[in-house]
Structure 1
Amino acid sequence: MNIIKNILVTDGNSRAALAVTRSLGSKGYKVFVADSAETSLASNSKYCSQSIVYPDPVNNFNEFCSSIKKIVNEFKIDLIIPVTDVCVFPISKLFKDNELNCITPIASDETVSLAANKSKLIKVAEELGVNVPNSQIIESKNDISIDYADITYPIVIKPSRSRVMIDGKWHFTSVTYAKTGEELSTILKNTHQEIYPIILQERVLGNGVGAFYCYKHGKCIAKFAHKRIREKPPSGGVSVLRESVEIDPLIDKHSQLLLSHLNWHGVAMVEYKNDENRGIPYFMEINGRFWGSLQLAIDAGVDFPDHLVSIAKNIEISNAQTYKVGIKTRWLWGDIDLMLMLLFKSGNQLNLPKDYGPKWKVIINILNPFGKNMFYEVLRLSDIKPWLFESKQWIKSLKK
């Protein structure tokens, strides 16, 4: 059994890092929270033993890698848990090159890169018989004159990678929409060549569904599912209120087909859109890292951070695939952001789907602070400082 005492958690300003810190710190591990800022969301937790600053991984890739190596040696880190993609990618490369003297429970560098490439993953999914939306892949700007007639407008324009390295810096991409062929051509022509391939997809109307897994070298150890009740932005984005549900058997089957095919190791979120008209869940992407709503899984009884540590220790995990359904977690300030969007932007500006319903009903639900089996994600009276920190940051953002 591997002995693990000191754990490094990256991306301290993320809600997932806070959930990891609370989980592992409450179990007696010494958790070092690292971020590019001196003070972060997770470093304010009482479960953080020490806050560490590293160079911004978005703009300083090489400096970040050098800093991680120094941190591991200086603080005698036994286990690294990278939380976001911008840290998963360089840390997976460091392990590939045998430059870190510790453990990390993530998939190989090649597997991580494949999972992050949506255009390649779509092809894998189709070969495995997994349902994907009607899609076309535009490999480069030289291909933008092809005929898109077999995809119904509005068309979803989705870069293959959520983050792209250009001139040594990470550039974040986003999903956009085109309502006409002219609008589509304009968007494609104005997209940087390095961001290609671009995926064009039919828009699937329905709730986003996430299936969450922990794997040990291709074997499923734990699983979990939720449904998104409210998202920011409302056309599809980050969930601000979500509820634990039983995993749809077809989603579970397809997710495990994909992850087993990839010989996955560590945690992963497999995303789908549930087409309510056709009754079919369509595969969207795999995120090979912790997800923003991690706290919901922990609240429902699936402690993914603890499972990762057990895998790193080579400890057998049992009874990890059952959990409570009907548990909800709410990201309060994200929900308030959603309310402000609904108040001050039109349905067209927000790209609201036709089945979204009246905005005023959603606003009334947001204003209700209570709910059955509902937890607040950041706001915890037993560990209040992270929420106070987040509240100050949110108020500052309003003044900009």
Structure 2
Amino acid sequence: MNAPPCIVLGLETQIGLSLVRELGAAGVRVIGITQDPQAIGLASRYLHEGIVVPEARSPALLAAIRAVGERYGPCKLMAVAEVNLNWLMRERSQLGQVEALLPAPAALATVLDKQATLAAAQAVGIAVPQSIEPLPGDDLAALAARCPLPAVLKWKDPNAVAPLLAKQGLDLLKAEYVYTQDELLAALRRYAPLGAWPLVQEYCPGYGLGQFFYLHEGQALRRFQHRRVAEWPPEGGFSSVCDAVPLSEHVELQAKSIALLRAIGWQGVAMVEYRYDPVSGRAVLMEINGRFWGSYPLALYAGAGFALLSYQVAHGLPYAAEPPLNTRLRCRMVATELKRLLRIWLQPDKIIDRSFQRRPWAELLRFLADFLRPNVRYYVWSWRDPQPFLRDLRNLLRVGRG
């Protein structure tokens, strides 16, 4: 492909690595930028040039991005992390000849605010969990008495609240489960010095169902979906094992997801995440991730790569909107699976969702059997590009020795 290069900001995880592999395999010169000199994406054979800038979201990083534009001419930039998308949104006028691929500011603000996302979803007919947002001046005891139980506490904008929590010496909890009014009240009072509280949401049973889209001018040019087979932490988080799901399933839900993204004015890639209960058939919206997602390698292996499409649309190049998909695939992250097995077998007291059903032997047998299945792929390992896996292994061993 005789076309401008592309910058990928964030090479530390399988997400950035997959973007490098997808673009590089198509002939795009990929310039990767990372904070970490040991980032796995730096080891990929598909990377044209790697740049390490230790200071995140800094003047030095801006200078490095501008320098790429001065060296290569006008080019696009894709970012992996939401915190970098936010930063690029603020600094987009300082990027020189580089254009970051970003959604509209108002759309990004909606996606980063869980309460605003849920309100937009309700407006297009999507089921959402009952949610209550405590506010300054609320009687916490009275609020706890009327909240649904069991409940899950989630921050509506984790990136924004993280520094405030750190100043108070509090950990950022992605999800906290409470089962009684006393537990809920104790959790809410913990955040009283902060003057801000997480959303209190009803607990929704089922498994994670992710639907993925690329929207351009209101049209969904590409779709993909998966179900979470195993998660880290075990009670719910990100996929450690996931299966592709044919587009012929959950068709009505796909249409609602697209309607939601259109309603908020979204452009580009997005993941619409649900909790799907196969017993009742009810799908409840959890959130929208307005970025490339953690299980992105599965989409790439299945033939639904979104990075090259993003690049082609940005440059006005021809693209295949709906390529044939291999939906018989499973994708897994073995290192995370091992942590999960350790938690299930030896640390069950650390599983914070009391309704989680431990099946230690079934989990172990599935883990071993997946090595023999012909349709299994891996988040990092690739025969065509083995060096990132070896670097990841060295990084894990280094952490273990530390």
Same fold by TM-score greater than 0.5:
yes
2:152 is the counterpart of 1:156 = yes
Contact between 1:268 and 1:290, CA under 8 Å: does it hold in 2? yes
Cα contact 2:208–2:274 (8 A) shared by 1:
yes
Q: After TM superposition, give the deviation of residue 114 of structure 1 in Å.
A: 1.4
Q: Give the Å deviation of 1:98.
A: 6.4
The equivalent residue for 1:392 is: 394
> Matches of 2:151 and 2:162 in 1, distance apart?
26
Structure 2 residue 96 is the aligned partner of structure 1 residue 94: no
> Residue 382 of structure 1 aligns to a residue in which SS?
coil
Q: Match of 1:361? A: 362
Q: How does 1:94-173 map to 2 (within 5 A)?
A: 94-95=91-92, 97=93, 99-140=95-136, 142=138, 144-164=140-160, 173=173
Aligned to 1:317: 319
Partner of 2:78: 81
- Where does residue 302 of structure 2 map in the other structure? 300
Q: Does the aligned pair in 2 maintain the 1:141–1:188 contact within 8 Å? A: no
Alpha-carbon distance, 1:255 to partner: 0.8
Instruction: State the AA in 2 paired with 1:89.
Output: N
Equivalent position of 2:251 in the other structure? 249
Percentage of identical aligned residues:
22
Q: 1:32 to 1:4 in 2, by over 3 A?
A: same
Paired residue secondary structure (2:48): strand
Distance 1:61 1:303, change over 3 A: same
How many angstroms apart in 1 are the aligned matches of 2:139 and 2:263?
30
- TM-score w.r.t. structure 2 length? 0.90
Tell me the CA shift for residue 29 of structure 1.
1.2
Change (3 A) 1:355 1:12: closer
Structure ranking higher in helix proportion: 2
Output the TM-score relative to the length of structure 1. 0.90
Q: Which residue of 1 aligns with 2:39?
A: 40
Supply the AA of the counterpart residue of 2:343.
Answer: M
Could you say if the C-alpha distance between residues 257 and 324 of structure 1 is closer, same or farther in structure 2, counting changes exceeding 3 Å? same
1:340–1:298: structure 2 CA closer, same or farther, 3 Å change rule? same
Amino acid at match of 1:179: Y
**How far apart are residue 353 of structure 1 and its match?**
5.8
1:203 is matched with: 203
Q: How many residue pairs end up in the alignment?
A: 395
Letter of the 1:213 partner, please give it: F
Q: 1:42 to 1:189 in 2, by over 3 A?
A: same
Cα gap change, 1:197/1:147 in structure 2, threshold over 3 Å: closer, same or farther? closer
Partner Cα distance (2:259, 2:25) in 1: 34
- Measured on the aligned residues, the alpha-carbon RMSD in Å equals 2.6
Q: Give structure 2 stretches of 5+ with no counterpart.
A: none
What does 1:263-274 correspond to in 2, within 5 Å? 263-274=265-276
Q: Distance in 1 between matches of 2:111 and 2:395?
A: 33
Match of 2:350, SS?
coil
Tell me how far apart the structure 1 counterparts of residues 321 and 80 of structure 2 sit (CA, whole Å): 25
1:307, 1:317 within 8 Å by CA — same for their partners in 2?
yes
